[in-house]
Amino acid sequence: MRSLLLLAAFLPLAATAAEEPANIPDRFGAEMTNHYLEENRQKAPLASELLPKLPKYQREFVENYVKVKRYQDDVLLRDLIHPESRKCENDDNVDYFDYLRYFYLHEELPEVFRLQIMEIDPKKQAALQKRLGMPAAPTHVMFIEYGEGKMIEGLQRFLREEKEPEPRLYELVKCPDEATLKAFRGDQ
């Protein structure tokens, strides 16, 4: 139950299909999440096919993300998390971040999966940051999908590209507000 509450607080999706746009834009936007999940899932290429085509810094992020899952590498996990997200952790919410770390290190990732990394429309980044409660604006969203047909499962991660000193992707983690912590702890 705790993991469902955590995921609900951590990765909110757009509300209903009625709000979805009719056309798929070139970039991921705040209103697009459910549309993407319904319309684009089967179009994601296999990670093994996409990785060689990605810019080096994106390829390295995905490769390190896979290493975190395969080897339960908590040091590498810390390195993948954006510094602004790491700053959110304090004595009052360490249990939340401990659970996130456990979840990330033990979350399954099959050997074969599909992958998409989409740029977020720069005009929508600030609104998405606010809606998700992120400490910095996401610049990309990564979808990892596995399974076939109607039983597709997957992961959605919001990323931030930093350009200095060289291009690099980090994963953003929500800074938990009081409501998130209450839901996580079951204090209602």
Q: Indicate whether 11 pLDDT > 50.
A: no
Q: Indicate whether 2 pLDDT > 60.
A: no
Q: Beta-carbon neighbour count of residue 98 at 10 Å?
A: 11
Q: Per residue in 23-72, pLDDT tens?
A: 434 444 445 544 444 555 557 788 999 999 999 999 999 999 999 999 99
Taking the CA atoms of residue 121, residue 84, residue 58 and residue 40 in that order, the dihedral angle to the nearest 10 degrees is -40
pLDDT attached to residue 153: 66
Confidence of residue 188 (pLDDT cuts 50, 70, 90): very low
Q: Are 100 and 173 in contact (CB under 8 A)?
A: yes
Q: Are 82 and 136 in contact (CB under 8 A)?
A: yes
Q: Indicate whether 76 pLDDT > 60.
A: yes
Q: Indicate whether 158 pLDDT > 90.
A: yes
What average pLDDT does range 75-95 have in this prediction?
A: 96
Taking the CA atoms of residue 140, residue 110, residue 180 and residue 81 in that order, the dihedral angle to the nearest 10 degrees is -50
Of 27 and 86, which is predicted with more confidence? 86
Q: Which residue has the tokens 């979350």?
A: 107
pLDDT attached to residue 55: 96
Domain residue ranges in the chain: 2-18+31-179
* DSSP 8-state class, residue 93: T
Give the 3-state secondary structure of residue 58.
Answer: helix
Of 83 and 152, which is predicted with more confidence? 83
The size of the chain, in residues, is 188
pLDDT attached to residue 145: 84
Residue 16 gets the label, from left (phi > 0), alpha (psi -120 to 50) or beta, of: beta
What's the angle, vertex CA 70, arms to CA 53 and CA 163, rounded to 5?
Answer: 45
> pTM (2 decimals)?
0.76
Q: Which residue has the tokens 């955590």?
A: 6
Q: Per residue in 99-115, pLDDT tens?
A: 999 999 998 888 888 89
Q: What percent of the chain has a predicted confidence (pLDDT) above 90? A: 56
